[in-house]
Structure 1
């Protein structure tokens, strides 16, 4: 059976790291993930997906991310249920984050200029839950973190591209 989820989105609130009675780090948050299409008003909508992280993954999110941080999450969907105080059965579906990738520098999160110094705070990072506690950067010192925002003209990964290739009219759709 396969249960894999890959998400890229922004944290909707500041991370709140907590510990279980057995001293295991845990973190619950939600990720705002833009939809790939626009609504009838021409605006993009987002889905708010609950995520849960444990151990090292939770600590990395708490230490290096804030509200609005752009992160990539690889994990699995999990459902659980409990009985609330009114005696009703409540079902919860969430993504358990097994791997987190930091997709923007701290400077760009704070609105500052990004500097390519190759230190931990200025580069994207890849962190896994489990025994691999080290930092693995998908970028080395000679590359800047790509800018996947709408400003395609200012040093973006899609430099020089001025139109969105996904903007098509409803008449062009086969359904």
Structure 2
């Protein structure tokens, strides 16, 4: 079985950070993702995808993401249901993110020190470190012809 979702889009609003009764952080936000094709009027349509993040990733998203920022999201699709106040069953489809990449700099004075680079990765697996081994090195990369795939 495979349940993997990879999206690139812009936040439609600032992330909303909440905590469960047991103290676990959960953040939710929506990203706008343009479709690759145009409709009959020649316009691109946009999908608005709800994203949910948990724990440290949720806190990082809430602290550093703002409306309009371009992000890459890697996660899984989740469909759940609940009964609302009127006794009706409500179905929710959302992406539970395992990894969120900030794909453009925050810009100006609001930029967080120590978060330089074209993209910033926040995932539970990376312990909030940017995993680019070539970042800010400034030296030429020595690659032999045997290492190239072409």
In which range does the TM-score fall when normalised by the shorter chain? 0.7 to 0.9
Aligned counterpart, 1:50:
50
Aligned counterpart, 1:12:
12
| DSSP-derived class of the 1:30 partner | strand
Distance 1:65 1:59 in 2: 10
Tell me if the contact between 1:124 and 1:137 (Cα under 8 Å) persists in the aligned partners: no
Aligned counterpart, 2:73:
73
In the superposition, the TM-score normalised over structure 1's length comes to 0.70
| Match for residue 124 of structure 1 among 116, 119, 122 | 119
* 1:156-167 matches, cutoff 5 A: none
Higher strand share: 2
Q: Deviations over 1:54-102 (max 9, x none)?
A: 0111111111110011000000011111111111111111100010111
Runs of 4+ in 1 over 4 A off after TM superposition: none
Instruction: After TM superposition, give the deviation of residue 122 of structure 1 in Å.
Output: 5.5
Tell me if the contact between 1:75 and 1:97 (Cα under 8 Å) persists in the aligned partners: yes
Q: 1:74 to 1:96 in 2, by over 3 A?
A: same
Unaligned runs of 5+ in 1: 113-117, 144-175
| Match for residue 136 of structure 1 among 127, 130, 133 | 130
- The size of the alignment, in residue pairs, is 134
Unaligned runs of 5+ in 2: 139-150
Pairing 1:41–2:41 present? yes
Instruction: After TM superposition, give the deviation of residue 142 of structure 1 in Å.
Output: 6.5
Higher RCO (CA 8 Å, separation ≥ 6 residues): 2
Distance 1:36 1:45 in 2: 9
- Over the aligned positions, Cα root-mean-square deviation in angstroms equals 2.2
In the superposition, the TM-score normalised over structure 2's length comes to 0.80
